[in-house]
Structure 1
Amino acid sequence: MTTRRRLPWSAALLACWALVGSCLAGPSKYCPDGGPIRFAHYEFGLIFNRRSGTGIDDDIQRELAQRTGCRFEVSLQPRARSWTDLESGNLDMLGSGVQNPQRDRFAWYAHYVVEINKVLLADSVPDHVTSLAEFEAAKDLRMGTVRSFSFGPFYDAAMVRLQAAGRLDQVGDTEAVFRMFAAGRFHAFVSSQFVYGHYVKQLGLKTPRRVENWDADPGTPSGLTLSKKRFSAEQAAAWQLLVQSMLDDGTVRRILVQYMGEAEADASLYRAKRR
């Protein structure tokens, strides 16, 4: 016959608090103090569709909430505002953020997809214009873009030059770019595989005759973006490891396949360079 030893009341209370503390220790490496994580979506085709309230980033965010136990406060914002709010500390996290030196000052990153950006060209663009240099040389041609979007160093530098020349039209969201392009407001714009097929179909637009890849780089990494005003370096490292685990266990690929099919999903999946 075995006997159970009873702990003194004070020892039992301490054991209870130790157990609670151990349960809280896991999420605390992810969840910052001061309330829920303020997460913003933006309208971007398969990444997030405001009409359906669904998309790749929505599935990613829900998976992150489930794995970390953190509370989220989710909103939909114009992309320019979300970057401003992230920098000021009025927003904590974004999905599908593209890294650049300016944003490195206020954000941490955990990439999970690669954007393959291509140029959509109007029928009025001469056939001999087959590169960004040739487009810029044709002084009567204009480019459209979404305010605050980044497409990687190659296209971003061209946007700066075109804006300085008064040849860049900037709008508030991706859907507006497609509508203005269809209306002939500008001659070309840059878009990714997550976007152009989706909006051509959704808006009932004519498929552009020319969709060309003018950037020699393989693609632009994009992913979870965290505010340095809300997350410490240690917390950011934990989120980066978490996102990598979702890549390693096939979760991100499964989400991409649901929206894009297997071939496009495999081409869009971020693969970190191993040291």
Structure 2
Amino acid sequence: MKAHWAVLLGGALASTTALGDSPCPADGLRVGYYLIGSAYENGHGYDVDLVHELARRLGCKIAQEDVYPRIRVLKMLEHGQLNLGTSTVPTSDRRKYAWIYPYFYSKNMILLSKQIGSRTLDQLLAEPAVKWGVIRGYRHSQEQDAFIEQLAKRGKVVMANDERDLYAMLSQRIVTAAFAHPFSYDSWLNSPALAGQVTVLDLFPSSERIAGGLMLAHNAFSQQQAEQWQAQLQQMVKDGSLRKIFGKYLSADSVAQLQLQP
């Protein structure tokens, strides 16, 4: 009889252990996307495919997924209304409430209206016609954020709600310059609204690339659970499936500019 109860108890403990090791939140994944390039558009994009593939591999159900403004996604993750986010730049503040695992690195370029003749940073700071569009809540490289601070002190910064708003302001010449990533602006530069109107410059040649990471809320994932997601991200880099997802939505040139990290 003791042996029988020992077997039953051992089985129960094994089941509990297996349940505790699950990488999935008990109430399912609650995912927040935001509009950025080909990451998300009308329910499709490389971030959507990434989340769905990770959920499939890890055996997690998706209970909720929707698109919100960038700053709202961060706040909802911080306060437990969402538990998973994508394409997030790791910062010390964000790491206080979420695990963040980069899956690509990319570099901001300068989109400059052709009506502006300036070609150096000092000239851009001094040019009266420069109005710099910045997406609310967005983080650039340290050098670029410092440059934006200088622009702001001169009253040259205009806030955009999201990427679509930023490009609309560029096409309407409400702003005359902005930072943007190649994977974001490629399709927009070929659109009728912007074709032939914008010059692409790299005035921060030594600037570091910016990480885009998967964000897992501390209040929904333990470190052990989060590390299982990180391991699966690394596997997707190694087996080529992550590059394949990007290639479905981006041009070969844009994919080549992305640095995928295992």
Cα distance in 2 between the residues matched to 1:225 and 1:164: 32
- Given candidates 149, 156, 166, the residue that maps to 1:177 is 166
What is the letter of the counterpart of residue 106 of structure 2?
A: E
Count of aligned positions: 258
**Cα distance per residue 1:100-120 (max 9 Å; x no partner):** 233232222111112221110
Query: What does 1:241-260 correspond to in 2, within 5 Å?
Result: 241-260=231-250
Q: Is the contact between residue 253 and residue 269 of structure 1 (CA under 8 Å) also seen in structure 2?
A: no
TM-score (norm 2): 0.87
Cα distance in 2 between the residues matched to 1:91 and 1:69: 19
Q: Is the contact between residue 143 and residue 188 of structure 1 (CA under 8 Å) also seen in structure 2?
A: yes
Q: Is the contact between residue 111 and residue 180 of structure 2 (CA under 8 Å) also seen in structure 1?
A: yes
Residue 195 (structure 2) aligns with: 206
Q: CA deviation at 1:62?
A: 0.6
> Which segments of 5 or more consecutive residues in structure 1 lack a partner in the other structure?
1-7
Q: Is the contact between residue 253 and residue 266 of structure 1 (CA under 8 Å) also seen in structure 2?
A: no
Q: Is the contact between residue 116 and residue 129 of structure 2 (CA under 8 Å) also seen in structure 1?
A: no
Cα distance in 2 between the residues matched to 1:159 and 1:41: 25
Q: Is the contact between residue 106 and residue 209 of structure 2 (CA under 8 Å) also seen in structure 1?
A: yes
**2:49 pairs with 1:56:** no
Residue 224 (structure 2) aligns with: 234
Structure exhibiting the larger radius of gyration computed from Cα positions: 1
TM-score (norm 1): 0.83
Q: CA deviation at 1:201?
A: 3.8
Residue 111 (structure 2) aligns with: 120
**2:20 pairs with 1:31:** no
Residue 5 (structure 1) aligns with: none
Cα distance in 1 between the residues matched to 2:154 and 2:69: 25
Residue 32 (structure 2) aligns with: 40
For the structure 1 residues 49 and 139, does the alpha-carbon distance in structure 2 shift closer, same or farther, using more than 3 Å as the test?
same
Cα-Cα RMSD: 2.5
What is the letter of the counterpart of residue 211 of structure 2?
A: P
- Given candidates 170, 183, 186, the residue that maps to 1:194 is 183
Q: CA deviation at 1:14?
A: 6.4
Q: CA deviation at 1:98?
A: 1.0
Cα distance in 2 between the residues matched to 1:101 and 1:23: 32
Q: Is the contact between residue 189 and residue 198 of structure 2 (CA under 8 Å) also seen in structure 1?
A: no
Q: CA deviation at 1:19?
A: 7.5
For the structure 1 residues 24 and 103, does the alpha-carbon distance in structure 2 shift closer, same or farther, using more than 3 Å as the test?
closer
What is the letter of the counterpart of residue 232 of structure 1?
A: S
Q: 1:101 aligns to what SS in structure 2?
A: coil
Give identity over the alignment, percent.
26
> Which segments of 5 or more consecutive residues in structure 2 lack a partner in the other structure?
none
Q: 1:214 aligns to what SS in structure 2?
A: coil
For the structure 1 residues 203 and 162, does the alpha-carbon distance in structure 2 shift closer, same or farther, using more than 3 Å as the test?
same
Q: 1:195 aligns to what SS in structure 2?
A: helix
Q: CA deviation at 1:203?
A: 6.0
For the structure 1 residues 139 and 202, does the alpha-carbon distance in structure 2 shift closer, same or farther, using more than 3 Å as the test?
closer
Cα distance in 1 between the residues matched to 2:173 and 2:252: 34
